[in-house]
Structure 1
Amino acid sequence: MSKVDRRILKSQEAIKKALIELMSEKHFDNITIQDISEKANVNRGTIYLHYLDKYDLLDKLIEEHINELRKMCESACELDWIDATLIFCEHFERNYSFFSMMLASKGAPYFRNRFLGFLLEEFRKEVDVTKGKNQGLNEDVIVRFVSSAYVEVVEWWFMNGKPFPHQVLAEQLGTLLERNL
């Protein structure tokens, strides 16, 4: 794998940060490439060097975060539900501006759907309808129930300005996951 020039990474980070900041100021449809270039302090050509348009930029930003969550799942799979959920809640806290913009402000409904799809995929790996408390229940119903609840709770947490620390959110979500999966 070739090493990426730090100037390229710095420009890409500035562009992504500018998009998130702009989305807090106005609706995505009203943001132009010129707005992004001014906010990021880069030329429009620099943006087009890395992204096809603002939709490609948003898609790559979302994909980056989903991939990060996917990697976290790989390392958290051996943990109990509370400890595994703490890893995710710490990530939400560290990336507050992104997640609050994507969830709390409805800045990008596409992200919410991608986040839900990611959770559906991951929780499906954890469901066992052949024994225990979920025996005889429909796997799709359980997975959709748990995934939708998870997204809704995280979204509620951001929309309400993080009414309690992320550790409390992790403990409560982890406990609920443990009870339902």
Structure 2
Amino acid sequence: MPKVDRRILKTQEALKKALIELMAEKNFDDITIQDLSDQANVSRGTIYLHYADKYDLLDNLIETHINELAVRCASVADLDFVTGSIVWTEYFESNYNFFSTMLASKGAPFFRNRFLEFLVEEFKDEVDNTQGKNEGLNNELVVQFVASSYVGVVEWWFTNERPVTHQVLAEQLGTLLERICE
């Protein structure tokens, strides 16, 4: 993998940070390239050197976080749901500004949809409808239920400004997942 110039990374990070800050203030559709330019303290031309438009920037930002969640998920694949959930909720906590903006505001319904798609893929191999409590249930329906519930609880957590610690959230989500998926 070729080494990326630190100035490029610094500019891209400044643009991502600027986008999150702006989305906390106003609707994504109302954000202009000039707003991004001013907030990140870069020229409009610099933005276009890195991204096709604000949608490309948002897509890149979303995929960065989804990819990181996938890496973290793979790293705990052989562990129980509680431990796996702790890894995720620690990531949610350490990236609070991003997730709270994406899930607790009207700013990015595309993130919610992308997060849901990601969770459906992650949970589809975890649900067993051939035995136990889920026997006879439609596998796709159970997976959609689990993924939608997970997104809803995480949304609730951010919307209500983290009413429980990320550890409590992880323990309870993990316990619920064990009850449904095992």
Q: TM-score, normalised by structure 1?
A: 0.98
Asked if 1:153 corresponds to 2:150, the answer is no
Query: Which position in structure 1 is the counterpart of 2:130?
Result: 130
Q: Which runs of 5+ in 1 are unaligned?
A: none
Listed one character per residue, the Cα deviations across residues 53-81 of structure 1 (whole Å, up to 9, x for unaligned) are: 00111111111111111111111111111
Aligned length: 181
| Runs ≥4 residues deviating over 3 A | none
1:102 to partner: Cα distance = 0.3
- Per-residue CA distance 1:66-120 (angstroms, 9 max, x = gap): 1111111111111111000000000000000000000001210000000000000
Q: Decide which moves more: 8-17 or 122-131.
A: 122-131
Other-structure match for 2:48: 48
Q: What do the CA deviations read for 1:29-68 (whole angstroms, capped 9, x no partner)?
A: 1111111011101111111001000011111111111111
Corresponding position of 1:57: 57
Structure 1 vs Structure 2: percent identity of aligned residues?
69
| Correspondence for 1:107 | 107
Q: Partners in 1 of 2:2 and 2:145 — Cα distance?
A: 43
Say whether 1:68 aligns with 2:37. Answer: no
Is the CA contact (8 Å cut-off) linking 2:27 and 2:106 kept in structure 1? no
Please show how residues 15-26 of structure 1 align to structure 2 within 5 Å: 15-26=15-26
Note the residue ranges of structure 2 that are not aligned, 5 or more in a row.
none
CA-CA distance at 1:150 after TM superposition: 0.3
Task: Provide the TM-score with structure 2 as the length reference.
Answer: 0.98
Q: Measure the CA separation in 2 of the matches of 1:92 and 1:34.
A: 29
CA contact (8 A) 2:82 2:171 kept: yes
Q: Deviations over 1:131-171 (max 9, x none)?
A: 22211111011101111100000000000010111000000
